[in-house]
Chains A and B, each alone.
Chain A
């Protein structure tokens, strides 16, 4: 089955700096890669996603890149703010037998220091 590895497990940055979280996946059939932000006491919230036919996608301060050949994708947060502090999960997804299979990474705890 699919295996998703995520690094680093913890990340501390100064407010205003950039943060980068990296993930690798094993199943070349995966074609959809969402990123989730989970704040304390809440469920994961989708913040950005990318499909396998796209190399990069941006949404304000957040961007995601995908390298299909290397099977890795990354989340980039620029001009970090204290409210960006949370746990971030990457995921790899594919359609299998008519339904969606989603595998999550182990998470990155991001701390933005004011």
Chain B
């Protein structure tokens, strides 16, 4: 049984560019949440998708947007990248109370 799959694993982008990160949830899970984890910090909630709609959002600017597809997979888009966007981006899926995390995408903005 595949867990949460994220792609790509690593990414280097230039300041001002746009990036798309992808997530496939664990089988049986219908809710996808995205987190940003800066080095040495705990995960910070970006937003959560359920039934293809964003249903809650953390304190992140509109440059961060997302999408959920009918098969429950999800994308995180970040526009106008800043150096401070460099972080590990984690996707977590859930079907109840517990979360299952992917291994993350390490984004470096130069």
Query: Chain A: residues with CB nearer than 8 A to chain B?
Result: 6, 32, 34, 36, 41-46, 49, 89, 93, 96-97, 99-107
Contacts and interface: CB of A to CB of B under 8 A. Distances in A.
A46 B55 CA distance: 24
Contact of A44 (B43, B44, B48): B43
Interface string B56-79: 100000000000000000000000
Contacts of B104: 42-43
20 contacts: A32-B97, A34-B98, A43-B90, A44-B43, A44-B101, A45-B101, A46-B98, A89-B42, A97-B55, A97-B56, A99-B31, A99-B50, A99-B56, A100-B31, A101-B56, A102-B99, A105-B42, A107-B40, A107-B41, A107-B42
A46 B56 contact: no
Q: Dominant SS at the B interface?
A: strand
A27 B101 CA distance: 24
Across the A-B interface, the 7 shortest Cβ-Cβ residue pairs: A43-B101, A104-B42, A43-B103, A106-B42, A44-B101, A107-B42, A104-B43
Nearest to A93: B97
Contacts of A36: 101
B4 interface: yes
Contacts of A93: 97
Contact of B41 (A42, A44, A106): A106
Contacts of A99: 31, 48, 50, 55-56
A67 to B, nearest CB: 20
A24 to B, nearest CB: 14
B36 to A, nearest CB: 11
A6 B42 CA distance: 10
